[in-house]
Amino acid sequence: MTAPDSSAVSCDLHRLAHDIKLWARELGFDQAGITDTDLRAEEPKLQAWLDAGYHGNMEYMARYGMLRARAHELQPGTLRVISVRMNYLPFEAGFAAVLRDPRLGYISRYALGRDYHKVLRNRLKQLGERIEQAVGAYGYRPFVDSAPILERPLAAKAGLGWVGKHTLLLNEQAGSFFFLGELLIDLPLPLDKPITNEQCGKCTACISICPTGAIVEPYVVDARRCISYLTIESEDPIPLELRRKLGNRIYGCDDCQLICPWNRYASSSTEPDFAPRTSLHRPALLTLWQWSETEFLRHTEGSPIRRIGYQRWRRNLAVALGNGPADAEVIAALQSALLAASTLVAEHIEWALGELQSRMEQENKKTLRLIRCIEKGLPDHA
């Protein structure tokens, strides 16, 4: 049997890599890149992060340990990782308007539409099948936050961008409002060049803007202080010292992305699945608080929000309501829910009521002082 010509094989692989990127575009991905599985340089940083306890109660982070940096061990036979990204920024997202209005609930922009895990994984599976049609049977496996993989360093090695000081991937043409996914394959495709230049420079805007100081140093996030962790990942009570800092953020936080200069170039997504749901777009906190568990499940069907469950949803809402205006209707709504509330939610309702009642007393005292000043003909500031 005559061995295949090495130059022809090489040419075929280059052609295949080119075609894969075209197919990825056709499937709705905004970019695709190819890299190997070597993340040895990331292992000391990952170990230091774990040793510092920055993963909080995300035990799976420690459980898998260095496997996160070894995709070839996770999926034996893996030679390459096809890393893809898909923009998710919705049209007219109205970030600032929601954050400025304490009566509204802020939901991280990625969670306003359909669960991205399902969208990306389905497209990656289709990409794998498309490759199979071209080359025959081969080994592949798609991942979208479904396995212990260091997806951002892999994406950076594949040329999709660089890891910013907030630890998110940044792209010169697209900012950071995009999802990442991976297709692990056993084909020796040619590698794309990583972006090696540091493009954050001296900018520390993301570090300065973080409401809870979670970015403890450039490229290091203490998850225990991160609002996304506190409102999504953590099942525990939100620490007392951080509750006021959450403001009206009820599911995730985008502050470090909103302030980033590179997001001036972020493009809106054309993917219909990522369009904001009406009930979640600029929602009134009091309206969300009045949802029953059945309504919560109905409004969050197919949404990533559903994964936190009704009790954590109520926990987050109680904190946001406690950070809002001292409104009699809000106080009454919280009080009426207290008796039937779970232990977790009740703790946060009581905190919120204490905050609102204290604020109302302060406002009443100010009003009383103003009335007395008017009666005595003194300046308002007396």
pLDDT at 375: 61
pLDDT at 372: 67
Give the position of tokens 């306890």.
53
Fold for 285-376, please state it. Leucine-rich Repeat Variant (1.25.10)
The 3-state DSSP class for residue 102 equals coil
- Rg, the chain, Cα only: 25
**How many CB atoms within 10 Å of residue 135?**
12
- The candidate with the shortest Cα–Cα distance to 276, out of 305, 317, 311, is 305
Q: Provide the sign of the torsion angle of the four alpha carbons 226, 228, 234, 237, taken in this order.
A: positive
pLDDT at 368: 67
The 3-state DSSP class for residue 188 equals coil
Length of the chain equals 382
Q: Measure the N-to-C terminal CA separation of the chain; round to a whole number of Å.
A: 100
pLDDT at 301: 96
pLDDT at 367: 64
The pTM (predicted TM-score) of the whole model is 0.90
Give span(s): CATH 1.25.10, the chain: 285-376
Q: What stretch of H or E contains 141? A: strand 140-143
- The candidate with the shortest Cα–Cα distance to 149, out of 52, 206, 66, is 66
The 3-state DSSP class for residue 134 equals helix
pLDDT tens over the chain, length 382 residues: 334 444 444 569 999 999 999 999 999 999 999 999 999 999 999 999 999 999 999 888 888 778 888 888 888 999 999 999 999 988 766 677 899 999 999 999 999 999 999 999 999 999 999 999 999 999 999 999 877 889 999 999 999 999 999 999 999 999 999 999 999 999 999 999 998 777 899 999 999 999 999 999 999 999 999 999 999 999 999 999 999 999 999 999 999 999 999 998 888 898 999 999 999 989 999 999 999 999 999 999 999 999 999 999 999 999 999 999 999 999 999 999 999 999 999 999 999 999 999 998 887 677 667 666 666 665 655 4
Please say if 101 is a catalytic residue.
no
pLDDT at 182: 97
Catalytic residue among 36, 101, 145, 273: 145
